[in-house]
Chains A and B, each alone.
Chain A
Amino acid sequence: MRDELETLLVRGYRYGLSLTHDPDRAEDLLQDAWVSVLKARGPREIGYLFAGIRSRFVDQTRRKRIELVEALPPEELERIADDERSWQPEISLGSKDLEAALAKLRPEEREILFLQAVEGFTAKEIGELTGRPRGTVLSLLHRTRKKLVRALGEPRREAKP
């Protein structure tokens, strides 16, 4: 049975993997961030660990890959927010298809998908972790989903109720 510490570390590793798309780099990021959390006697919580992993990743990539994403107008954002909650395209694929499609995304795109779909973070929580306004998060999320779906091939879009 997995203990609390292992659960925390595994989640940290997966977050690192979403950023790097590279298992070795994800392990390095996790280890560096974990040592830093312990040395700082910081809380052994997911938010703190994620922030440490992200900060190291950004340092390593020297912030050059973190691009600004312009926020859409407020009414468009609200439409997107509703759309994001309801639009879950059904797709048929093997694990290698998804792996290949994820490799085509930028780190911040994989990151935002991971945080929302796997970790269940809200746009506000993602914004707090990544330092982006909620509107920017929603824009990026919207564009990233479209990009991923395109990379996977056109899915069958479910009609909204």
Chain B
Amino acid sequence: MKSDSLDEHLRAHYRAEQPSEGLLDRMRSIAELEDAAASPRRRGLFLSAVLAATLAFVLWSLPWISQAPGIPQESMLRAVAEEIALNHEGHYEPDVPSAEFSLIVAALDRLDFQPVLPERAADLELVGARYCSLQGNIAAQLQLRDDAGKRFTLYQARHGEQIGKLLPAELDVGTTHVEVWTHRGLVFGLASTLAPKP
């Protein structure tokens, strides 16, 4: 039993308390990493190390991504592009013949997503739209043309697990050029007819 002032007791009480050594070690390590990242002299080395590690991981994981069952990147891309090309070359009549995008959005009310006009199509003129499908998913086909009158079709659908893994790509399928990309939960495809070879 000791007889001291209240403050002395409080000081003694709290000063006897310590965080665990493990926590202190972890926090020192975090500080050292941050210092290394922040130091101009060492930043280059640190970033190089991070870059090298990232590159190594990407190189290591690429074969797994492309070969893993259920995620056949190339074959999925090919299948999507072929389906888009088929739709493009079908020259189907629009379900909604309108240049007004808001009317098209309102009319295509069976879609399970809200159609959008991507930046890639900003310079093209809208002429109509129709329903179609991509890999079994309900899709919209927007029909467009450029200033020269060249015909384009733009596809969009909510992507499933597999189709969502597609990386942006461009490829030719027969006489059709197809660009594919994904954005905010949708897969997009833009198709146009290749100029005939001389």
- Do the beta carbons of B23 and A30 come within 8 Å of each other? yes
Identify B13's interface contact among A39, A90, A98, CB under 8 A: A98
Which residue on chain B has the smallest CB distance to residue A89?
B6
Task: Tell me the minimal C-beta distance from B43 to chain A in angstroms.
Answer: 13
Task: Tell me the minimal C-beta distance from B175 to chain A in angstroms.
Answer: 54
Task: Tell me the minimal C-beta distance from A79 to chain B in angstroms.
Answer: 19
Q: With the chains together, A108 CA to B23 CA distance in Å?
A: 25
- Do the beta carbons of A92 and B6 come within 8 Å of each other? no
What residues of chain B lie closer than 8 Å to A94, measured between beta carbons?
1
- Decide yes or no: A5 and B31 within 8 Å by CB, A31-B23, A89-B5 being known contacts: yes
Identify A90's interface contact among B5, B19, B26, CB under 8 A: B5
- Do the beta carbons of B27 and A91 come within 8 Å of each other? no
- For residue A9, CB closer than 8 A to chain B, the reply is yes
- Do the beta carbons of A5 and B7 come within 8 Å of each other? no
- Decide yes or no: A27 and B6 within 8 Å by CB, A93-B1, A118-B14 being known contacts: no
Identify B28's interface contact among A5, A23, A102, A117, CB under 8 A: A5
What residues of chain A lie closer than 8 Å to B18, measured between beta carbons?
10, 13
Q: With the chains together, A18 CA to B13 CA distance in Å?
A: 11
- Decide yes or no: A31 and B27 within 8 Å by CB, A117-B7, A145-B6, A148-B6 being known contacts: yes
- For residue A35, CB closer than 8 A to chain B, the reply is yes
- Do the beta carbons of B2 and A98 come within 8 Å of each other? no
- Do the beta carbons of A9 and B27 come within 8 Å of each other? yes
Identify B16's interface contact among A9, A31, A91, A95, CB under 8 A: A95
Interface size class of A (residues with CB under 8 A): 35 or more
* Chain B residues with a Cβ closer than 8 Å to the other chain, count: 28
- For residue A57, CB closer than 8 A to chain B, the reply is no
What residues of chain B lie closer than 8 Å to A10, measured between beta carbons?
18-19, 24
Q: With the chains together, A149 CA to B20 CA distance in Å?
A: 31
Task: Tell me the minimal C-beta distance from B36 to chain A in angstroms.
Answer: 12
Q: With the chains together, A98 CA to B12 CA distance in Å?
A: 10
Q: With the chains together, A95 CA to B31 CA distance in Å?
A: 34
- Do the beta carbons of A118 and B11 come within 8 Å of each other? yes
- Decide yes or no: A93 and B9 within 8 Å by CB, A9-B24, A41-B38 being known contacts: yes
- Do the beta carbons of A18 and B14 come within 8 Å of each other? yes
Which residue on chain B has the smallest CB distance to residue A15?
B14
- For residue B122, CB closer than 8 A to chain A, the reply is no
- For residue B4, CB closer than 8 A to chain A, the reply is yes
Which residue on chain A has the smallest CB distance to residue B34?
A38
- Do the beta carbons of A31 and B26 come within 8 Å of each other? yes
- For residue B75, CB closer than 8 A to chain A, the reply is no
- For residue B161, CB closer than 8 A to chain A, the reply is no
Which residue on chain B has the smallest CB distance to residue A114?
B14
Q: With the chains together, A46 CA to B28 CA distance in Å?
A: 16
> Which 8 residue pairs are nearest across A and B when measured between Cβ atoms?
A88-B5, A13-B19, A117-B7, A117-B10, A38-B34, A92-B3, A118-B14, A14-B14
Could you tell me which B residues sit within 8 Å of A by CB distance? 1-7, 9-20, 23-24, 26-28, 30-31, 34, 38
Question: What would 9 A/B residue contacts be, using CB atoms closer than 8 Å?
Answer: A6-B24, A6-B28, A17-B14, A27-B23, A30-B23, A38-B31, A89-B5, A95-B16, A102-B13
